[in-house]
Amino acid sequence: MITLHETAGIVLIMLGVFFILIAGVGLLRLPDLFLRMSAATKAATLGLGLILLGTAVFFWELGIASRAIATIVFVLLTAPVSAHMIGRAAYSDGVPLWSETVLDELDNYYEKSQPASEETNN
């Protein structure tokens, strides 16, 4: 007989899988590095958090729950920071924005290096 916490755990895990699927679709469909990175970071972090939370609820043991919660906290603290640093490095390295980008708010704040193909042409 499946108990209520097992059912709740399965539902949370399936929601997590759905958000990770959305992150994968975002990686394939979005036009530039910055939008792809945003989709992957947000959806995959939420998806992983839901999967780990579902695992903790499904097994309903203190050891598993504490490890899952510690991992969730670690991912929530590190994923946005790492995505920000990668995005900042890509922007300052001259990775082009999407051609239909309307506003570049960082234009006056960072010096962009020219891409390698432009440096050889000069």
Instruction: Give the pLDDT confidence of 4-38 residue by residue, as tens digits.
Output: 989 999 999 999 999 999 999 988 988 888 888 88
Task: Indicate if the pLDDT at residue 73 is higher than 90.
Answer: yes
Listed by start position, the domains of the chain span: 4-121
What separation in angstroms does the CA of 64 have from each of 43, 56, 58?
A: 23, 6, 10
> In this model, does residue 120 exceed pLDDT 80?
no
**Banded model confidence at residue 57, pLDDT cuts 50, 70, 90:** very high
Mean pLDDT of 80-99: 81
Q: Which residues contact 55 (CB under 8 A, 6 or more apart)?
A: 9, 13, 64, 68
Least confident of 46-50, 91-95, 115-119: 115-119
pLDDT value at position 115? 61
What is residue 101's DSSP assignment?
-
Of 25 and 97, which is predicted with more confidence? Answer: 25
- Cα→Cα distances 9→4, 44, 46, 73, Å: 9, 18, 15, 19
The answer to whether residues 44 and 23 touch, using CB atoms and an 8 Å cutoff, is yes
pTM of the model: 0.79
100-107 mean pLDDT: 71
Torsion angles phi and psi, residue 2, rounded to 5: -85, 130
